[in-house]
Structure 1
Amino acid sequence: VEYRYRVRTDDAATPTATAAAWRDALTAAHPGLDAEVETFEERSERLAEVLGQIGSGLLLIGFSALFIGGLGVFNSVQAYLQGKLTSLATLRALGLRDRRLAAFVLLQIVMLAVLASLAGVLLGTAFALAAGLAVSGQVPMALQAARLWPAAGLGLLFGVLTAVTFAWPALGRALSVTPAALFRGVTGTELRTPRGAWLLTGGTAAVVLVLLMASVPDPLFGAGFVLAVVLLLALLEGLTRGLRGLAARLQEGSAGGSAGDGAGDGAGDGAGDRVAGRARRGGRRLPVELQLALAGLHQPASPLRPALLSLGSALTLLVACTLVVTSLLRTVNETVPARAPALVFYDVQTHQLDTLRDAVHASSASAQVRTAPLVLGRLVAVNGESLLDSADPERVRDARDEQKLSTRAGNIDDVLVGRGAWWPLDYAGPPLVAMEDREAEERDLAIGDRLRFDILGRPLDVTLAAIYSQRGLQSRLWLEAIVSDGALDPFISRHVGAAYLADDLALAAQDRLAAAAPNIASVRTETMLRETRRLMARAGTGLAVVAGVCLLASLLVLGSVVAASRTRQVYDATVMHALGARLSGLRRVLYWEYALLAVVTASFAVVAGSALATALLRWRMYMDPFGLYWSGVATAVLVSAISLGLGARYLLQQMRLNPAMLLRSGG
């Protein structure tokens, strides 16, 4: 006979800490107590692990939106300050110091960041309350708006700090304009980002990272995301340099004609040979407009680098988010229902195994029935050291935890071995055991350790041969240990099982089993899956909303990229128009340039985003995105085509070429 008690602690503000303190006090007051004492948080670890898988997808989307929003801030600030270069140069000419000028501009940025972040916080809080109301009927949860405000304040702080972090480089670059630009013309002025701006960027970025690591539930996941973004930016930087080198090599084969000489004299930098020459690749002549696009891509002031960094990183994260969301929804809606048994059985006595099979097969002769022995035991010693006699209270509590033991033949969950290896199926040597990774890590176990389990007061000595991990959403029994065949035979008195048959036949099988063996508990998984699908449908709606926000942020970032490069592109087109180039030809050049950017960024995003999502899905969420890569390809192609296509049309509408502009600007 087992007795179970539930104790509610007094302090509702910190229930987890209070419950743990009460448990420790009980253990200290009764050191010989043999009962297993668990807090609610510890009993919910399995559910938390499953929810953590879903949370990983949400974290990826949230981090991606945060980073993409920062890129939007950088490009927007750069586009805004690009139009204020004359004013900044004038203020510097009048004697305004850089610090005051920077403080003046930064104050404007902070004000806008606070307003934008506040709007985002209010919308996010409203969405959270709406989502809580939507699932409150299926999940026992209390809606407490007061608990959302700390998270809202943290979100506001994240928004402002992210905006300031990404604004520093653009601000420092704009403040590098000199008063001499008022005489030469600010449009063609070469700007640089000073070292101080990069130091400030690094400082605020470090604050954001520390805050990020302190606030996320899984710091390792946050660190992995940061490393992935750094690697992503490094790859994009290398891709940018490679494309510039490739464009330059394509232009080296140009034939320098008289038109090229004239253009070179007009441009003053020898670029005319590359612009007007005949580039050959494999003996075939490239279109003139493509030559001009290639020539523009490897110029020092080309918008290629900011466009590739912003568009490439945003698209890559968007592809990764798409794959994670589609894989998660497929797992919940298709994979789990397809692999789940129709019936799950508990408390099956050994002599009732045949009765169980007969009852199921009477409903469906083709039904598959799998059973596994279930033995409860406690790990009481490791390498000869008794855990109950340890001075560490945590190890004493571990020795009182009951663990579910079974055999390899009963591996219904098909666990994955990560360290060590399974023993052969015909193994007949000394007892071996495979432990779950969470249990092994909590007890600092290693392959080869000698373990002793206490089962019904009798010891069982085994050697640790393997450490395995669960399949998360697809796990059913969550066994803590699997013992080699034969070792548990003296202790086996009950079993668990699963039956695979059509859902419409499961109810009849359940009724037959209840009549033949009333003590066997049976559960129809269709009922649970139906509720799960209803919950996950709403969760999927939430994921779609979050992913849609991320997509909208990406489109805004791409729009800011176009805006940031518009002034320079219009200036370059005006120079070419003054040298005799036709407007129709310049438009085709623009289309070629944007088409090249779309192809390069979409291709990179598909490869890098798929790799990032695959790593997260397989190593963190235990899912396989195979068969869903098309969704990432479609997202990359669609978003790049829409954003860059609309950007090109917008730029063409703004392109009012007038050579007199060069005289007015001093160019």
Structure 2
Amino acid sequence: MTSFGTRLSIAFRIALRELRGGLSGFYIFLACIALGTGAIAAVNSVSTAITNAISSEGRTLLAGDVRFELDNREATSDELAFLEGFGTVSVTTNLRSMARVPDGSDQSLVEIKAVDEAYPLYGRLVAEPDQPLSELLAANEGAYGAVVAPLLLERMNIKVGDDLLVGNTRFRINGTIVTEPDAISDGFGFAPRFLTSREGLFASGLVATGSLVEHAYKIRYADPAPTAQAIRDRAQAEYPTAGWSIRSSDRAAPALTENVERFSQFLTLVGLTALVVGGVGVANAVRAFLDSKRTVIATLKCVGAPASVVVMVYLIQITLVASVGILAGLVLGAIAPPIVANYLSGILPISAEATLYPRALLLAALFGMLVTFAFAILPLGHARKVPATALFREQGFEASGLPSWPYLLAMALALGALAALAIFTSEQQRIATIFLAAMAAGFVLLRVVAMGIAWLAKRSPRINSAALRLAVGNIHRPGALTPAVTLSLGLGLSLLVALALIDGNLRRELTGNLPERAPNFFFVDIQSGEIDGFRNLVEGMAPEGKLIEVPMLRGRIVELNGTDVAKVEVPPEGRWVLRGDRGLTYARNVPENSTVTEGEWWADGYEGEPLVSFAEQEGRELGLKIGDTITINVLGRNITAKIANFRTVEWESLSMNFVMVFSPNTFAGAPHAWLATLIDQDATAAEEASILRSVTQRFPTITTVRVKDALDVVDRLVGQLATAIRAAAAIALIASVLVLSGALAAGNRARTHDAVILKTLGATRAMLIRAFTYEYMLLGAATAIFALIAGGGIAWFVLSQIMKLPSNFLPDVAAMTLVIALVVTIGIGLAGTWRILGQKAAPVLREL
């Protein structure tokens, strides 16, 4: 008996000899594998490049080795001495406020950053003109110096050298910001940057008790450098109630890093969808290739080659060809980071030099090879099962049934490994699991849909039109293209519909429904001595409007049930609640837009232990329940409160909503500012501008945020994200088109015989073209209907269950999907069919 090694050697030689004839029949196979592998490799390589840049350039991005942040208060002399014991300290202060031209004709919200003489400890702030920062920020002729983002000059129609009023002080714009080293670590801003000295900021009167101010103390280590953990431990031990947030340079921008990782995981799953859809193309291509090799396979079997050798020959060929496709995809993934770096160079310090990221490339290669094996094994099993005599007689493998159980088991193992790899390499394993389960359900549903289409076609009434009758017959006959076309287009179109509906609903919410429900203005940092005058001014200018005022503090959750939050395992979707400071308030009654769902609200005049009402969704995500305790740090003091109730919160309304609302006695005597909103849906743009101008001039230290302006910024961000999402959807759709092409190529032999016989019996080419057009139209329309239902369901789940936003069906998306399905199906179908109709009859008839 021939050993396995000998059989493998023989199979390898035969495989290589056959490949000398080129890759004919494998081009769609190559394209499917290269496209999916390239998408996964590119997304993960770019993600790794960004996260590595944030990590390796952490000192520059943080402008220090470690950063201590305090909100609403400065460090005490003892705390400052403690920080200076680690090295050189630079202090920056951040807040939002209004900048206005001296004549009062215009104003704009700005993100103020006030720095000291030591800033920046790492990196360099580049301005235009490129002068030392100390000169640009120096006071001169009664005005403090400032450098600003170029956007502010455009927005207010001013130039370098002009003056602006901020708070109670005049500032002169001495330049514009080109590069700000630590902009990313300071977080996303809705307004242009306004950078000045701390002396100028404190002279403005904006920093007052209760103001929403961040004081960041950045340290450049002295030798020997301590570890970040050692600093945290000492800070916690010596100043347990300081309430500062500590961030080291290896985690310079945790929110950005986490968002990049989440978005890359989403795109990876979309890329995996394209790869799995491409796997169907692999199966079709392998089936078509083996069908074209029927004579070779039959010859090998007739001369005594064992069935296992036949399988080895073509498995080796498929593996080699797949390796070429995977390599092409890896090349695409490898060149993606330097290309993206050119677009992000002004935002992130990403190197434009070609750098390989082995883990990202290896992950993509594994996905590609597993998909290849999983979808190629069944056609190979068919080739092994069919006897040589049958291969000489039959047109292909359609009637050969399922292969033997080892091949089915091998396919199941490959698909299981593929799912496991996708789940265990994802941070949000639950979402990855749901995604894969939905994809598997989609395969099953599409198979059922194909069977349903064939069933309906078989039972359709007799049609007078010969072309239409032939089209309907083609849909349900043995070896029909119905399953292949439905599966090819179904997944890609469903994903396209889902992403289009999500994008459309988000834009509709931001530009249509949300502005109608949202307040016109948010007013921040209203001091207690200003609240009465502010109220009288706004109510006088908007008598029909609704002004809502609530007390406002800032605090950070430091403990849950007595356990440090740093030691609590929290799901990714709930981490934002524990990151940084949260807005806090107190109330005697249940706030508007909220409903208590569990527990009881405190009685009016309650004077017992501190109680807190927690937003239900966020509380569940943190694993909290009624009676649990949370400890927050407010102005350097730790306060522990018991959860009295959970309540629903309508975040999408953009009203004044808080994760935590405390009983009034919790903050008795604590200094605080006020937050207010104005809702006046009948206010015109001119009236809003008048209110904004009057409040800014009368109360220069109050920050006024026009909600529509903020929504415009968010809309631009959503648009940028939508571009990436559309690109991912396009990849999936391209994969579907490739698969459809492969499916039609796989059925070309049977179509050729059918066309020749019909032409011999008198059918004209025009009649056959009409028949095939009708067939493809019916299949495309049926698939589009499924895509609308499935994609609509996916979009509803994402919008209503994950994003907690309204979900609406958009008719324009339906029309677009139907058009795409018909154009793609008919176009590709007729492109392949035209060549078939040109075949001469005699050679084909001789083979029958």
Per the shorter chain, which TM-score range?
0.7 to 0.9
Contact 2:294 2:392 in 1 (8 A): no
Indicate the residue corresponding to 2:837 in structure 1: 655
Indicate the residue corresponding to 2:278 in structure 1: 69
Q: SS state of the match for residue 80, structure 1?
A: helix
| 1:202 alignment partner AA | A
Q: Where do 1:88-99 residues align within 5 Å? A: 88-99=297-308
CA 350–42 in structure 1, closer or farther in 2 if over 3 Å, else same? farther
Unmatched segments (≥5 aa) in structure 2: 1-72, 76-214, 222-226, 570-574
How far residue 592 of structure 1 moved from its aligned partner, in angstroms, is: 2.9
TM-score relative to the length of structure 1: 0.76
CA distance in 2, matches of 1:659, 1:491: 94
| 2:422 alignment partner AA | L
Contact 2:489 2:821 in 1 (8 A): no
Q: SS state of the match for residue 480, structure 2?
A: coil
Q: CA offsets per residue over residues 447-471 of structure 1, 9 Å max, x none?
A: 4657677867696755442255774
Q: SS state of the match for residue 322, structure 1?
A: helix
CA distance in 1, matches of 2:386, 2:459: 32
Indicate the residue corresponding to 2:94 in structure 1: none
CA 335–584 in structure 1, closer or farther in 2 if over 3 Å, else same? same
CA 537–557 in structure 1, closer or farther in 2 if over 3 Å, else same? same
Counterpart of 2:487 (choices 287, 292, 309) is 309
CA 544–62 in structure 1, closer or farther in 2 if over 3 Å, else same? same
Identity among equivalent pairs (%): 25
CA 28–348 in structure 1, closer or farther in 2 if over 3 Å, else same? closer
Indicate the residue corresponding to 1:600 in structure 2: 782
1:81 aligns with 2:290: yes
Counterpart of 2:496 (choices 309, 313, 318) is 318
Q: SS state of the match for residue 289, structure 2?
A: helix
CA distance in 1, matches of 2:495, 2:389: 42
Indicate the residue corresponding to 2:453 in structure 1: 243
Q: Where do 1:316-355 residues align within 5 Å? A: 316-330=494-508, 343-355=521-533
| 2:375 alignment partner AA | F
1:157 aligns with 2:366: yes
TM-score relative to the length of structure 2: 0.62
* Corresponding residue pairs, total: 617
Contact 2:773 2:830 in 1 (8 A): yes
Indicate the residue corresponding to 1:557 in structure 2: 739
Counterpart of 1:404 (choices 571, 583, 586) is 583
Q: Where do 1:170-181 residues align within 5 Å? A: 170-181=379-390
Q: Where do 1:368-387 residues align within 5 Å? A: 369-376=547-554, 386-387=562-563
Q: Where do 1:195-274 residues align within 5 Å? A: 195-250=405-460
Contact 2:453 2:782 in 1 (8 A): no
Indicate the residue corresponding to 2:672 in structure 1: 493
Q: CA offsets per residue over residues 34-90 of structure 1, 9 Å max, x none?
A: 544444799967767877886686456334323222222222222222222222222
How far residue 651 of structure 1 moved from its aligned partner, in angstroms, is: 0.7
How far residue 227 of structure 1 moved from its aligned partner, in angstroms, is: 1.0
Indicate the residue corresponding to 2:597 in structure 1: 420
How far residue 604 of structure 1 moved from its aligned partner, in angstroms, is: 0.9
Q: Where do 1:438-453 residues align within 5 Å? A: 440-441=619-620, 443-447=622-626, 449=628
How far residue 242 of structure 1 moved from its aligned partner, in angstroms, is: 2.6
Indicate the residue corresponding to 1:465 in structure 2: 645
CA 579–470 in structure 1, closer or farther in 2 if over 3 Å, else same? same
CA 650–147 in structure 1, closer or farther in 2 if over 3 Å, else same? closer
Indicate the residue corresponding to 2:97 in structure 1: none
Shifted more, 631-640 versus 480-489: the winner is: 480-489
CA 183–53 in structure 1, closer or farther in 2 if over 3 Å, else same? closer
Q: SS state of the match for residue 371, structure 1?
A: strand
Counterpart of 2:322 (choices 113, 120, 124) is 113
Q: CA offsets per residue over residues 572-623 of structure 1, 9 Å max, x none?
A: 3334455565555444432332222122111111111111122122222334
CA distance in 1, matches of 2:274, 2:578: 45
How far residue 527 of structure 1 moved from its aligned partner, in angstroms, is: 6.6
CA 371–119 in structure 1, closer or farther in 2 if over 3 Å, else same? farther
Unmatched segments (≥5 aa) in structure 1: 11-17, 251-278
CA 179–28 in structure 1, closer or farther in 2 if over 3 Å, else same? same
Q: SS state of the match for residue 180, structure 1?
A: helix
Q: CA offsets per residue over residues 267-318 of structure 1, 9 Å max, x none?
A: xxxxxxxxxxxx45xxxx5534444333333333222222222222232222
Counterpart of 2:828 (choices 637, 646, 650) is 646
CA distance in 1, matches of 2:809, 2:455: 36
CA 43–657 in structure 1, closer or farther in 2 if over 3 Å, else same? closer
CA distance in 2, matches of 1:438, 1:9: 40
| 1:479 alignment partner AA | F
How far residue 530 of structure 1 moved from its aligned partner, in angstroms, is: 5.9
Shifted more, 606-615 versus 95-104: the winner is: 95-104
Counterpart of 2:771 (choices 583, 586, 589) is 589
Q: SS state of the match for residue 190, structure 1?
A: helix
Indicate the residue corresponding to 2:82 in structure 1: none
CA distance in 2, matches of 1:85, 1:56: 42
How far residue 641 of structure 1 moved from its aligned partner, in angstroms, is: 2.8
Counterpart of 1:609 (choices 770, 791, 804) is 791
Q: SS state of the match for residue 400, structure 2?
A: coil
How far residue 374 of structure 1 moved from its aligned partner, in angstroms, is: 2.0
CA distance in 2, matches of 1:537, 1:244: 41
CA distance in 2, matches of 1:437, 1:623: 16
Q: SS state of the match for residue 819, structure 2?
A: helix
Structure holding more helix per residue: 1
Counterpart of 1:2 (choices 56, 74, 84) is 74
CA 232–193 in structure 1, closer or farther in 2 if over 3 Å, else same? same
| 1:305 alignment partner AA | P
CA distance in 2, matches of 1:443, 1:198: 43
How far residue 373 of structure 1 moved from its aligned partner, in angstroms, is: 2.0
How far residue 120 of structure 1 moved from its aligned partner, in angstroms, is: 3.0
CA distance in 2, matches of 1:613, 1:400: 29
CA distance in 1, matches of 2:458, 2:815: 29
CA 62–162 in structure 1, closer or farther in 2 if over 3 Å, else same? same
CA distance in 2, matches of 1:481, 1:649: 62
How far residue 494 of structure 1 moved from its aligned partner, in angstroms, is: 1.9
How far residue 218 of structure 1 moved from its aligned partner, in angstroms, is: 1.9
Contact 2:507 2:715 in 1 (8 A): no
Q: SS state of the match for residue 312, structure 1?
A: helix
| 1:481 alignment partner AA | M
CA distance in 1, matches of 2:255, 2:670: 26
Q: Where do 1:533-572 residues align within 5 Å? A: 535-572=717-754
Contact 1:187 1:571 in 2 (8 A): no
Q: CA offsets per residue over residues 483-537 of structure 1, 9 Å max, x none?
A: 4678767657322234567677767655654554454344566776665555555
CA distance in 1, matches of 2:590, 2:839: 73
